[in-house]
Amino acid sequence: MPLAKALELAQEYDLDLVEVAANARPPVCKLMDYGKFKYESAMKAREARKNQAHTVIKEMKLRPKIDPHDYDTKKGHVVRFLKQGDKVKITIMFRGREQSRPELGYRLLQRLAEDVQELGFVESNPKQDGRNMIMVLGPHKKKTEAMAEAREAQAARKAERQGGSPADAAAEETAEA
């Protein structure tokens, strides 16, 4: 239709005439509320960014002569990081005469890998790097899955405190966001 008629139609319906495909012959235009369109597209982009996850590499440093209780504490941190969906870089630092016994560090890393194998896998095997021995563990589940589980658990805890069901709390939380 002619441009003048399209503009007249847009004014009649109190909408904007937006050019959709300028390179097409003839150019394609659409009647829409442009402010509403911009707002909705911004909200979609915001929601996509909210669900996006960036992988973080957490680091845990150990020594070859570690006390059993300290080992359990460090292992607990590694477990927490893997549950959150983060990669974990484990570094064993050798000092002095410990450098002549790298097998101690290797055994310690293998033990840790076995202890957390239900949550993660060995992404890079232990290797000596100067005074340090390094191993990287990766989580079995993706960061987005871990974030979703954490949100569900938080909704369940909130529902318990308020006396409702977890589904009600999850629906309420999405309504708040």
Do 154 and 93 lie in a common domain?
Answer: no
Domains held by the chain: number? 3
What pLDDT tens digit does each residue of the chain (177 aa) get? Answer: 888 888 888 888 888 888 888 888 888 888 888 889 899 999 998 888 877 767 779 999 999 999 999 999 999 999 999 888 889 999 999 998 988 989 999 999 999 999 998 888 999 899 998 899 999 999 887 777 777 788 888 889 888 888 765 555 555 555 555
Residues 36 and 105 placed together within one structural domain of the fold = no
Residue 29 · residue 19 · CB < 8 Å: yes
47 and 7 part of one domain: yes
pTM, rounded to two decimals: 0.58
Domain extent for 41: 3-51
CATH number at residue 133: 3.30.110.10
Based on the fold, state whether residues 135 and 61 are members of the same structural domain. Answer: yes
Complete DSSP assignment for the chain: --HHHHHHHHHHTT-EEEEEESSSSSPEEEEE-HHHHHHHHHHHHHHHHHH-----EEEEEE-SS--HHHHHHHHHHHHHHHHTT-EEEEEEE--GGGGG-HHHHHHHHHHHHHHTTTTEEEEEEEEEETTEEEEEEEESS-HHHHHHHHHHHHHHHHHHHHTS-HHHHHHHHHHH-
Q: Are residues 33 and 70 in the same domain?
A: no
Two tokens at 111? 């033990």
